[in-house]
Each structure stands twice: as structure tokens, then as C-alpha cells.
Amino acid sequence: MDHTREILTFQLGTYANYVGAHFWNQQEANFRYGDESEQVAEEQLPNNDILYREGRNDLNRTTYTPRLLSVDLAGTLGHLPVTGELYGNFVQRDEELLPLSTGEELEQARKRAEESGVCAQEQLEVQAQPKSAISEYQRDLLKNAVVPEKNYQLAATANSWADFLYARYHPRTLNVLPGLIRDPTAQALGTYSAGTEMWQEASFNEEFCDRIRLYVEECDGLQGFHVLFDIDDGFGGLAGKCLEHLNDEYSRASFVLPLHYPRITSYAQADSRLSHSIRVVNNVLGYHQLSEQAMMFTPLSTLETIWRNNNLKSRSLPGLQWETDNLYQTSALLAAFFDTATLSYRLRQTPESLLRFCERVTPAGRKLTAAGLALPFGLREGQDLIEFLDQSGDHALLTQLTPGCEPGTSYVVQSVTARGIPVERLKRPRELAGDQLRMAAYGCDSISHMLQLYYQCTYHGSVTNAAATPLPLKTQLPFPYEMFAAGISGGGYRLPEGAERGTGSRVDSAPMLAALQNSTKLGEHLDNLHAQSHRVQLAKLQAYSNSCLERDEYDTALDQLLEFRDLYADSQYL
């Protein structure tokens, strides 16, 4: 009997939920309804049942929601109720729809507080919290009146991932950390230790673990977990304990994405120097736990480096322009990578699994991998793939999304996934081929075969697993389509030199390439982290002084980080 091979996804932290919102929007952009005419065959589409679950709401209507657990701070959900919107908990988005006046709401809140005995009646003061503003996009979405041509200016106005979320979540998906409220000036959950302590609190742990169990029990053939989390703050500690629990209870494969904010991280009662030290300690402890608990982990950031990068120097992708510290735009790039890189084991007819996918890219215990992205892919309008690869020569196709990391072009183990390149663009027919006939790649009969040959010829001593689907990245609303330069066509191809898209036209879809790579050079990424630890004086970090972290525990994490780095020595290759 064939099983669905389900995957349960975790999003831990505010930036993780930004990336997750774009990721789930992308999944639903690929849904097919009725007799839609698409140029992509059914078998080359994602098997949505891997990431989604079917259920019924209180009105006995079928729902189809992400198999997802999300954790964030109070104040980040915006207009969304914690229990979601599909099971009778509809958001009151317009003031005239509110059933109670503000005075009535306050009186009811006062009565509940008095009954609970939180304090003496004469000491009780109840204040109304300002209602969360609802983005214009969400208002139109509620009315089923989203105008694709309308400029919703989400890059400037999105204050939360909820402002651009198209997908709808299950009631057990959203989890808010008790007692912690979002602070735009500093991390509310600042340290790794604070995250581990939060996991151990019964007010959070019992219900969260029950929700994990309920999701797992619904699965016929659970193959593993996707875990996205913010590594620069306390969500790293929460993620580490969560992974430990998943391994102890379920023993499945885990693909983990530690995410770095595209901006300077601040912490309570800490200047820039101390904030940097706190972030280093958080990363040391996080990497140590990942090296033991994750099957594979891939740090992601749009910044070139996360250490001493006060000018926020960002990576660059030809054909794209974005604001360096914009959470809405940068998270879309990381989500595009995540979506594309995982397609090889999510397509309907693929024999690949999450376990085999991770094992192929992590030889000799090298669990740390690097992320490469080409968005848009770089093909010119009307150009064939065989010509594009031939003209690329030694020029790198990919831009790194793992900060401070360059895997190189020798002795690389990698998984490469291309999307949105139709097979008609592979090469010209034999009667029109001309010079293409003299190229060795002309014998290739698929996109994946040609990419495999390309990397075999250009990456010395490397092992490449290539996959491809003609399904492009959908870049309509609420994707930040404004990032595409004027020299990119509506289909995501490069226009001839000097040509531009028509005024008012937008890029609706784009071909792209994503890769997970492993090589000895990734050891330099670990060296950079360890070098930053030399400047850390743990005793002076007030954020850690009252935590459960002992000096010996931190020193052990540093020592084991060096042991993990030794796996990336040349002598350990394969």
C-alpha cells in the first residue's frame, strides 16, 4: 500500500513565520482547481498531501490546511485569532461588525479577571489594547476582491507576516509564548537559555507536545520534519529542545533551516558590543545542538556575513533588487529557496524521500550544508538551456544564501533542483540545431540530465543529484514582485540588452535554480563562528547571568563545535 509520506513543519520565531507565510502562499499558488489549463503535467506537480492535511470544520465543510506548528510572540499575529479562521473563529475585520462595544468588552474582561482572582478588586485596572490594524490586502482578501494589478505596497506597510498571509491555518497551528510580547526595539526572547527554559514550562510544553502527537497520529507514513527557526535569539533554544523531543519520540529525518535576521539584532539591556556577544553565544549553542540533533541543517540569510556586518552588506541576485533589511522581501527569497530545494522529494511521482535526500548531501557526518540560489535563473528570452550553460563557462550560476560561506567548485556533494524551464527550451530540433549538434550536451534528453552533465564537467571531483520540474515559481501577489528589475520579462527571462518590460506589467512567474551543497570549504563557516567566540566574555552578559547556562556547558559546546568542524577536513572527504 502506498503511503502519503507526510512531513510535519515547524516555524519557530517571527522571521521563521515570515518565511513560512511566503512558503505556504507559494504552495497554494500551485493548487489546481477544476479544469484549469496548465502546461505542467500532473506527475510534475507537488504532492500537496505531503505537507497538507484534510479535515472538517464545525460547519461540516472540508478544509485543507498546512500540517504545521507555528510559535511566535504575542503581538505578531496581527488580526489573526490564535485558533485560526476556518473553524468558526472568523476575524472581525470591520468595526461595524463587532458585536460588542469597547465598554462592554472591558466590562466582560473585568468580570473574568475578578472571577479568576488575579488580584484584589480595588487594585484591578483593565485597559483596552489597541486593535491590530488589518492590511489593505487582507481586507480585500476577506471580500474576495483582491485586485492583482493593485499596488498594495506590502513592502512598506507589512508589520507582520499575517499582513500578507494568503493561506489559512488549522486551529492547532498557532502557538503564542506565554508572557512574552513583541518588542520592536529588542528581542523579547533574547537568549538560547531562555528558549530552553520556555520549552520546559508546563504552560507551553504540555499542550505543544500534545499538538505534535495529534498531527503525527493522523499520518499514515510520516517521513520526517521541516524545522525553520530564528537562530539569533531564544527561539534557537526552543528549536533545540523541540528537535531533541522529536528524536526521542519519533526518530524521523529532519531538515532544519536556522534563519538569520537581515538586520542588526538588539537585546534588552545590551549595547551593540554586548548584543554581538549574545548573538555569538546563541549561535554557538544552536550549532552544537544542531550538530547532534538535526539530520541536516542549512543556515540561511540574505546578508553576506552575520558577523561584524554593521553596514548590512547584502548578497545580490542579478535581476533582483530589494531593501536589505526588509523582512517581507528578504523572507520571500528564503522561502523561494526552501520551496524549490525540497521539490525533489515532494513531486507526485518521485521515488525520493526526505531521508535519502538528506543522506545524499551529508556524507561522513557533515550535517551542515550551504544554500545556493539563482532567481531568476538567467535564461534570455528565446535562449535554449544548452546555449546558456555553454556560455556560462566558469561563471557561477548560483548565489550563496548561507552567510560567510562559499562551497567552491571542487569535491562538492550537492542536490540541484531547477524549476520553470520548459523542455522545449532544452535544445533546438536536430534540423535547426546548427552548432548545438557539436556540443556533448546535445545528447541530453531532459533538464536534469543536462544540469547533471554541466556540473560533472565544471565541478572537479564532485557528485551532483539533479532534479527538474517545468513548474515555475509563481510571483503574483502576495509575492514581492516589485523586486524584479525592468529588464526581466513577465515570464522571468532576461530581455535583450536595453529592453524593458512594458509600463505597468509585472513578472507573474520565473524559472529558478536552488542547490544544497557540501564541501570541505564549509569548515571555514564554522571557523568564523568559533573565531567570534574569542571576544565573548560570558560573565559580562547580563542576559545570560540569570539563566541556567553554566560556563562548563558553554565551553563544552565550543569544544564540540571544533570536533564537528574536523569532519570538514580534506582527509574526511567521502
Q: Which residue has the higher pLDDT, 308 or 423?
A: 423
State the pLDDT at residue 559. Answer: 95
Q: What are phi and psi of 46, to 5 degrees?
A: -65, 145
State the pLDDT at residue 459. Answer: 92
* Residue 93: pLDDT over 60: no
| Separation CA 432–CA 428 (nearest Å) | 6
Strand partners of residue 258: 229
CA angle in degrees (0–180, nearest 5) for 425-30-90: 160
* Residue 22: pLDDT over 50: yes
| Separation CA 447–CA 425 (nearest Å) | 9
Q: In 3D, which of 227, 233, 211, 207 has the Cα closest to residue 7?
A: 227
* Residue 109: pLDDT over 70: no
The arithmetic mean of pLDDT across residues 68-72, rounded, is 97
Domains, the chain, with CATH or none:
1-29+56-78+160-573 (3.40.50.1440)
* Residue 410: pLDDT over 60: yes
* Residue 99: pLDDT over 50: no
State the pLDDT at residue 50. Answer: 96
The alpha carbon dihedral of 523, 525, 526, 528 has a sign of positive
State the pLDDT at residue 290. Answer: 98
State the pLDDT at residue 55. Answer: 86
* 501-533 residues labelled b (16+ CB within 10 A) or e (exposed): beeeebbbbbbbbbbbbbbbbbbbbbeebeebb
pLDDT-derived band of residue 431, with 50, 70 and 90 as boundaries? Answer: very high
State the pLDDT at residue 220. Answer: 93
pLDDT-derived band of residue 442, with 50, 70 and 90 as boundaries? Answer: very high
User: Going by DSSP bridges, is the β-strand pair 296-297/62-66 parallel, antiparallel, or unpaired?
Assistant: unpaired
* Residue 33: pLDDT over 50: yes
Q: Which residue has the higher pLDDT, 131 or 543?
A: 543
Q: What are phi and psi of 313, to 5 degrees?
A: -70, 125
pLDDT-derived band of residue 297, with 50, 70 and 90 as boundaries? Answer: very high
| Strongest mean pLDDT among 30-44, 233-247, 491-505 | 233-247
The arithmetic mean of pLDDT across residues 337-356, rounded, is 94
* Residue 107: pLDDT over 70: no
497 is written with which cell numbers? 540588452
* Residue 247: pLDDT over 80: yes
Amino acid at 333: L
| Separation CA 71–CA 10 (nearest Å) | 8
Q: Which residue has the higher pLDDT, 420 or 39?
A: 420
State the pLDDT at residue 74. Answer: 87
Residue 300 vs residues 127, 192, 338, 404, 441: alpha-carbon distances, Å: 41, 18, 10, 10, 33
Which of 26-40, 368-382, 530-544 comes out lowest in average pLDDT?
A: 26-40
Q: Do the beta carbons of residue 512 and residue 375 sit within 8 Å?
A: yes
Compute the CA torsion angle 453, 411, 560, 273 (nearest 10 deg).
-80
* Residue 51: pLDDT over 50: yes
State the pLDDT at residue 32. Answer: 77
State the pLDDT at residue 310. Answer: 77
Q: Over the stretch 538-553, which tens digit does the pLDDT of each residue have?
A: 888 887 877 778 888 9
Q: Over the stretch 310-334, which tens digit does the pLDDT of each residue have?
A: 788 999 999 999 999 999 999 999 9
Sequence-distant (6+) residues with CB within 8 A of 481 are: 475, 506, 507, 508
State the pLDDT at residue 110. Answer: 62
Q: Do the beta carbons of residue 573 and residue 520 sit within 8 Å?
A: yes
Q: In 3D, which of 160, 202, 209 has the Cα closest to residue 178?
A: 202
Strand partners of residue 379: none
The arithmetic mean of pLDDT across residues 82-94, rounded, is 54
How much of the chain, in percent, has pLDDT values that exceed 70? 89
Q: Is the peptide bond preceding residue 318 cis, with omega within 30 degrees of 0?
A: no
Q: Do the beta carbons of residue 177 and residue 71 sit within 8 Å?
A: yes
The DSSP string of 121-142 is: GGG----PPPPPP--HHHHHHH
State the pLDDT at residue 94. Answer: 41
| Separation CA 474–CA 420 (nearest Å) | 9
Sequence-distant (6+) residues with CB within 8 A of 45 are: 30, 32, 347, 348, 469, 471
State the pLDDT at residue 115. Answer: 56
Amino acid at 345: Y
Query: How confident is the prediction for the chain on average, in pLDDT?
Result: 88
Q: Do the beta carbons of residue 390 and residue 346 sit within 8 Å?
A: no
